[in-house]
A and B are shown apart, each in its own frame.
Chain A
Amino acid sequence: MRFRLTLAAASILFFTRDCLASQSTLDPQGPQAEHLARLFWIFTGVCTFVWVAVMIVLLAALIRRKAERPDPLQLEPATERRSAAVVGGAVVATLLTVVALTALSYLSQRQLFAREKPAVTIKVTGLQWWWDVRYETDSPDQTVTTANEIYVPVGEPVTVKLAANDVIHSFWVPSLFGKQDLIPGQENEIQFKASRPGVYRGQCAEFCGWQHAHMGLLVVALPSPLFQQWMKLQSAPAAPPQDPIRKKGAEIFESKACIMCHTVRGTSAGSRVGPDLTHFGSRQSIASATLPMSRGNIAAWVVDPQGIKPGVNMPNVSIAPEELDPLVSYLAGLQ
């Protein structure tokens, strides 16, 4: 309980600081993103300088008109030498610039793909249109399964193994690292660090179907002790409901179509088609960072997912009006 309060306080703090979860390449929050941002600014600066210089020379050439010579074919050794020097200098400068930028890019790549011993290894699987997140640990009972939210410890290297189950997706949290594709049948890997605690929004960056735009995710960076507490909380099975309304909600959940696709660890619901809902209520958003977590949004989503994300794989399930409140209470209470 105390942990939950701390977490709530921490997230309120982060949210008020930024108002929104940060999602910008120009707002780097980790060493990998800083490399990319630095590279971006250097390239932009150099290219701007080159463009301005070329435009100035071009304008000068257009404005400064020379008088026509009596014999255009006659060679003037002084002008020839000067032209050769200018063109030669420009060619050398171009080559040097290209080589320097290539070297810079190469060195940054080396930094980006340098690997440390990871503090946390996460397997992220892209599906239409959500993210399955599994924390790989030494003992299976510590393994954490969640969806659409990745919690990481601040300042420690995090390795993410990327896979896909249906089509190609791309994993991109602009404030933390560059894009990396999730390809069916191939496992890619990315490593990153978050320098500051905060909530960073990510987005699928490879068109993957109708609801591609609504395939977001959140990366939450917490100080290491808070992160360990989060892991402990998430690895536990769902607490059985105590109050009668939530008990009824659990019955509805287990007797409806919900259990055909979802898992709630500790109950008979164990299907792996949709997101794991064991600690659904502890998340900050629902439907892949599409709606903020609230009772109203859960109800809206459960009643009419096809109205919020048309084409999503969750079908409209017929729920009687009196069943909705217990079901929403049950889901929101899965802390």
Chain B
Amino acid sequence: MKRELTIALLFVLLLAGCEREDRPLRSDPVLNENREAIALATNSPGPTGPVEYKSGTRGEYEKVAFHVSQGKKLFTWYNCSGCHANGGGGSGPALMDDVWIYGSAIENIAASIREGRPNGMPSFRGKVPEDQIWQIAAYVRALGGFVSSDVASSRHDQIYAHEGEARLPSPSPRTSNQPGLAQPK
């Protein structure tokens, strides 16, 4: 009797392996339009900083390995490397250092992709579906070393100069959520 109970319990344990993470493939087209209010510039008139509204739900994206790896694939497909050169920076700023001009939070990165930024970053609103923007933002977070190493990928599909995102050092963001532009080293 005891043995059967142990075996049954072991089978119950197997259930823990189910649904490790959710892979939503069919995003809701109406929810797609749900945007969070993020200040486009870090300076504002008056003594108070710009008002930002973050629901926090989008933070779920950087906790799911599937989203981060999809973001990595889309980063190449949508030619983000054309300016950001695999995160190392070219005509666009580097994404794997500790300098974040417009904030390092996932909401800020998603806003940068969706709305664009002055001096070169184009707006991808309407060109990239909303959930893909969040996936790319989650990957950019991984490039910056903000994503836990069991979620970030540990190897690349192609030959890269740097190691997988899971092995990158995580720098402490110097300018996250601070008013004023970052001063590069």
CB-CB < 8 A to B132: which residues of A? 315
Tell me the interface secondary structure of chain A in the complex: loop
> Does A306 lie at the interface of the complex (its beta carbon under 8 Å from any beta carbon of B)?
yes
Chain B, 113-129, CB within 8 A of any chain A CB = 126-129
Tell me the interface secondary structure of chain B in the complex: loop
Closest beta carbon of chain A to B21's beta carbon, Å: 14
Interface flags, A46-57, vs B, CB<8A=1, else 0: 000000000000
The answer to whether B25 touches A318 (Cβ under 8 A) is no
A315-B126 Cα distance, complex, nearest whole Å:
13
The answer to whether B26 touches A316 (Cβ under 8 A) is yes
CB-CB < 8 A to A259: which residues of B? 127
CB-CB < 8 A to B78: which residues of A? 260
The number of chain B residues touching the other chain, given as a range, is 10 to 19
Closest beta carbon of chain B to A161's beta carbon, Å: 21
Closest beta carbon of chain B to A121's beta carbon, Å: 27
The answer to whether A257 touches B127 (Cβ under 8 A) is yes
The answer to whether A306 touches B26 (Cβ under 8 A) is yes
How many A-B contacts are there with CB distance less than 8 Å?
A: 38
CB closest chain-A residue, reference B78: A260
> Does B29 lie at the interface of the complex (its beta carbon under 8 Å from any beta carbon of A)?
yes
> Does B77 lie at the interface of the complex (its beta carbon under 8 Å from any beta carbon of A)?
yes
CB closest chain-B residue, reference A261: B77
Query: Known contacts A260-B78, A261-B77, A273-B77: does B127 contact A318 (CB below 8 Å)?
Result: no
Closest beta carbon of chain B to A277's beta carbon, Å: 16
> Does A240 lie at the interface of the complex (its beta carbon under 8 Å from any beta carbon of B)?
no
Closest beta carbon of chain A to B113's beta carbon, Å: 12
> Does A118 lie at the interface of the complex (its beta carbon under 8 Å from any beta carbon of B)?
no
A116-B32 Cα distance, complex, nearest whole Å:
55
The answer to whether A316 touches B129 (Cβ under 8 A) is yes
CB-CB < 8 A to B107: which residues of A? none
Task: Please pick, from A256, A306, A310, the residue contacting B126 in the complex, using a CB distance under 8 A.
Answer: A256
The answer to whether B129 touches A315 (Cβ under 8 A) is yes
A259-B78 Cα distance, complex, nearest whole Å:
10
CB-CB < 8 A to A317: which residues of B? 129
CB-CB < 8 A to B25: which residues of A? 306, 310-311, 316
Question: Interface residues, chain B, CB within 8 Å of chain A?
Answer: 25-27, 29-30, 32-33, 77-78, 126-129, 131-132, 157
